[in-house]
Structure 1
């Protein structure tokens, strides 16, 4: 070994330098590793946060969907159900992982799953769900790629079907209401043409029939036009302070002949202090329909009472009470429907269009109020509505 001091000094310097460079390199590598780890953790945290955010957005989107969505795995087991599906099918946490056909025992669902085994998708399969409440549904299903499974989308058609039924009933009722007076008018005209016009008594009789049923047609058309305008928001209300007692008395005076013919006493019990903010013409229509109904369907030689009282929140409540036969629970549910008549034979005898209470409801709602009826068989009826106070 060389003992030269200079050589040993140089060797020591080389060793020290090598150690220094090694330590610096190790420190640099450690710093790089720490930076890499920090960046990895930052990206991991960011991606996890982004994933949570996107998952939350997806969950919100799925749960805000009006349609019921169910996801299945390759064994037709439920892996996901949105809020609409949970509510529609009354699902619970225990149903996650169960076979769909154990939860929905519907032949149409089973047939759709069988078709999905052979086809890519199933479209517009309709089924009737009996429980927990009757619902008409339309099912669209799509097969998932990869490890299998499917997405099932259920559209609730119940409201649409009800609207279609209402429209069909409405058309049928309008046709019937138009056909009857038109037939009677045509019959009267034919009788006059056949020679009855030469007999003054017969002529007056058949002209009276024509006039009466022409007026009925006119009233029906006016009511239909008013309801159409209310439905489309084309009725402009000109509201102003209205003295309720005076408005009620005007209607009572107008309906006095009808009340007299049935021996009905109509009592105005509205205090002079009661004032409403309403369209005077529309308020008169509301009162006229309700009081006329009470006179027609109340007890013969009975009593109809109209009263009012202030309510909290700036409203006045008006009550129209009769002492007639009352209504069943089934009738109460439909009493404000267009053309609905509980006793059709009596309704034909009493006249009217069958639209009066529907007009009442729509006019009250247009004023920002509400209307309801209280009744029971043998206990008469009370129609109650409230409108803003003046």
Structure 2
């Protein structure tokens, strides 16, 4: 027996109990615990493993959700988030990622807005804009540049400069800009076959490190400016010539008179008549210039009203009858049915018909006939001046309305013209919102048609 008990009595009463356990009993309990330890350890191991698997599963779900969130951010979706039920380090990481996504989204939205603004600005620019990298390959081109060059950005992207703008002078300036960072400006054609003129600005793109990263090329079409400058230059030259010619003539005759010819009455009279003619010509030239200037600047009021067609023609024919009689030319007028009146400014229309009839008389053969005819047409009224004179060469028809342009300069000056008559006609007709057309054939005559609207 390995365990027994003793009772202790005092005065006939039990006052204590003593239990005695032998070593064998203790050893047996210990051995029984030893025998049960594997079971306990197994249960503990299983519990630990289950707890670990639970923790691992939660982390795996978090990592998987986190991975999906990162992928969504990479694709531009910043609305994704990971849900964690407790506040720990993983939750802190999740909150940091969400904050980063929010800030990244704000920056991307700002960048997108700035990009849209830049695209709008580039699209609305009247100048062509191209950007090239340091190797000379195209990075950017706006719509205006596409229209100027005749190639789309999709077709031209990554091409070299000379493949887009076939101008070696421009290519050399681009290389110089890339090499030394100097801004270049030049006026040139974009290609050997291009008829348009452009002012080209080549400017380096300087990065934060002060190193050139490429160039910006800006194209501004200056063809119209070039044409206007040429017209202005031609105008000044023509005016100078037209003024100098009669002045030279006048000065020559005056000097001859002063040298003694004034005492020879027949010669003096002849010279003074020429001087008077040249002075009249100068006066007409200056008057025409001033009138043309007023027309071009709109300083002449366009007060329109209905005018009797026949009365207007009769008045003009009467004015020009002396000129026509000098060449024995007959002026015939016709007002067709329905065209009894014309709507316009009386003074201006009178000037138009005088200029046209004077030209018809000047360039008609002696004894010829000049016709003036007013008819109705789809737009309103048609006025035609027809002569059977020397005509105009086909190559000159497009230029006859230019100031000071003459088909035969010597003959025009001899006839006393200023070279401004048809230019004045064109401006007056355009002020009436009408059209002027001219048909001519050498040695067969000329037809000038004026179309005037009635409203």
**TM-score tier (shorter):** 0.7 to 0.9
Name 1:318's counterpart in structure 2.
383
Pick one of 200, 206, 211 that aligns with 1:139: 200
- Residue 249 of structure 1, CA deviation: 2.5
- Residue 222 of structure 1, CA deviation: 0.3
1:73 correspondence with 2:139: no
User: Which segment drifts farther, 317-326 or 67-76?
Assistant: 317-326
Q: After TM superposition, list the pairs within 5 Å mapping 1:41-120 onto structure 2.
A: 54-92=114-152, 93-120=154-181
Contact 1:321 1:380 in 2 (8 A): yes
Pick one of 263, 266, 271 that aligns with 1:198: 263
| Pairs aligned (count) | 366
Q: After TM superposition, list the pairs within 5 Å mapping 1:166-185 onto structure 2.
A: 166-185=231-250
1:352–1:69 CA distance, 2 compared to 1 (3 A): same
Name 2:350's counterpart in structure 1.
284
Contact 1:245 1:272 in 2 (8 A): no
Name 1:15's counterpart in structure 2.
none
Whose relative contact order is higher, 1 or 2, with alpha carbons under 8 Å and at least 6 apart? 1
Contact 1:372 1:383 in 2 (8 A): yes
CA distance in 2: counterparts of 1:222 and 1:278, whole angstroms: 22
1:354 correspondence with 2:419: yes
CA distance in 1: counterparts of 2:314 and 2:100, whole angstroms: 84
Structure 2 unpaired stretches of 5+: 1-82
User: Which segment drifts farther, 277-286 or 134-143?
Assistant: 134-143
Describe the superposition over 1:281-329 as per-residue Cα deviations: whole angstroms up to 9, x where unpaired: 111111111111122223443332222333335x322222222343334
- Residue 158 of structure 1, CA deviation: 1.9
- Residue 53 of structure 1, CA deviation: 5.8
Structure-2-length-normalised TM-score: 0.71
* SS of match in other structure, 1:144: strand
User: Which segment drifts farther, 344-353 or 112-121?
Assistant: 112-121
1:152 correspondence with 2:152: no
Contact 2:198 2:222 in 1 (8 A): yes
1:118–1:186 CA distance, 2 compared to 1 (3 A): same
Name 2:19's counterpart in structure 1.
none
User: Which segment drifts farther, 229-238 or 323-332?
Assistant: 323-332
- Residue 64 of structure 1, CA deviation: 2.8
Contact 1:329 1:376 in 2 (8 A): yes
Name 2:304's counterpart in structure 1.
239
Contact 1:299 1:322 in 2 (8 A): no
Contact 2:167 2:191 in 1 (8 A): no
CA distance in 1: counterparts of 2:274 and 2:332, whole angstroms: 33
CA distance in 2: counterparts of 1:43 and 1:311, whole angstroms: 72
1:296 correspondence with 2:362: yes
* SS of match in other structure, 2:271: helix
1:307 correspondence with 2:368: no
* SS of match in other structure, 2:335: coil
Aligned-residue Cα RMSD (Å) equals: 3.2
CA distance in 2: counterparts of 1:348 and 1:55, whole angstroms: 64
- Residue 224 of structure 1, CA deviation: 0.7
* SS of match in other structure, 1:76: coil
Contact 2:128 2:220 in 1 (8 A): yes
CA distance in 1: counterparts of 2:447 and 2:103, whole angstroms: 70
CA distance in 2: counterparts of 1:388 and 1:254, whole angstroms: 26
CA distance in 1: counterparts of 2:241 and 2:449, whole angstroms: 30
Pick one of 178, 182, 186 that aligns with 1:121: 182
Contact 1:242 1:277 in 2 (8 A): yes
CA distance in 2: counterparts of 1:51 and 1:379, whole angstroms: 72
1:131–1:118 CA distance, 2 compared to 1 (3 A): closer
CA distance in 2: counterparts of 1:90 and 1:276, whole angstroms: 47
Name 2:329's counterpart in structure 1.
264
1:46–1:316 CA distance, 2 compared to 1 (3 A): farther
- Residue 194 of structure 1, CA deviation: 2.7
Structure 1 unpaired stretches of 5+: 1-22
